[in-house]
Amino acid sequence: MLKNDWIKLINAIRLRKLSYSGEDGELSYYCQYQKKENGTRSYIDDNDGVNYKHEEYDFHISQKNPNYSNGSQQIFRLTFIYGHEIHPCRPKLASYPLEKIIKSHSQEVFVPHIRILGYGGGAFGNRPNSYSQDFLYKSGFYAAAFLYAFDVQEPRLQLIDREWIVIDKQMGYSDFSVYFMNARVIPVKLPIPKFIEPQKMPVLKLAEAVEITDTWGFYSSSSDDYAEVARSLNEIRKEISSQNNTD
């Protein structure tokens, strides 16, 4: 995709458009807004419970013509959860803080965040062991775009020799597929950034070592498509090794 296509996608996510879809070569993607009503939830200090609602913005990318010979379709998905509301069934208390809702699972939080499910393949439809390197490579760009849309500073993504590295303060460096296949809560600070005006952004710095211009695309084999990489993969491995040796 070209720079303007990426900006349109990022703007659609930032605006939480009711629905937005597109195609990128052999891939198709869509975004969708949903209002979730979870019914009555148990609540500390109020046995009658509370009615709980929140909003979701889902992103999903998959193959247009999947080959099921390996038993599964290649999918990548992320969900932004926000707008949490509770309404007491029979008000008794002066206030009803969100954090007193009794969680339905250990990963549930009541602050704006990007959720990665803790079952199946996490952000992937299935465990990504059988996914092609090409699909994982392209999924990284969409993960970077989703994080960029909400100005997420942690984790950070870096592209090195067609491999995505995830940089997280708590975990250090992780392989892209390993990081996104496990349950995670990525906090999002509000307000959501305003939409981008394409004419005012000649270069879109989507992630570390990735700069997208009007002539950039997935399918060019030229290394000039990417920003100069500050460190090689071997240097990162050496740093990881040295960190482990000092622990």
Which positions ≥6 away from 69 have C-beta within 8 Å?
A: none
Task: Please give the radius of gyration of the chain, using alpha carbons only, rounded to the nearest integer.
Answer: 20
Render pLDDT for 127-155 as a digit per residue (tens, 0 to 9): 888 888 999 999 999 999 999 999 999 99
pLDDT value at position 31? Answer: 97
pTM of the model: 0.83
Would you tell me how many other CB atoms lie within 10 Å of the CB of residue 126? Answer: 17
CA 209 to chain centre: 18
Between these two residues, 218 and 99, which has the higher pLDDT value?
A: 99
pLDDT value at position 126? Answer: 81
pLDDT value at position 246? Answer: 61
Minimal CA–CA distance to 146: which of 217, 84, 26, 58? 58
Render pLDDT for 181-194 as a digit per residue (tens, 0 to 9): 999 999 999 999 99
Q: Where along the chain do its domains lie? A: 3-246
Q: How many helices (H) and strands (E) does the chain have?
A: 4, 11
Render pLDDT for 11-70 as a digit per residue (tens, 0 to 9): 999 999 999 999 998 899 999 999 999 889 999 999 999 999 999 999 999 988 876 655
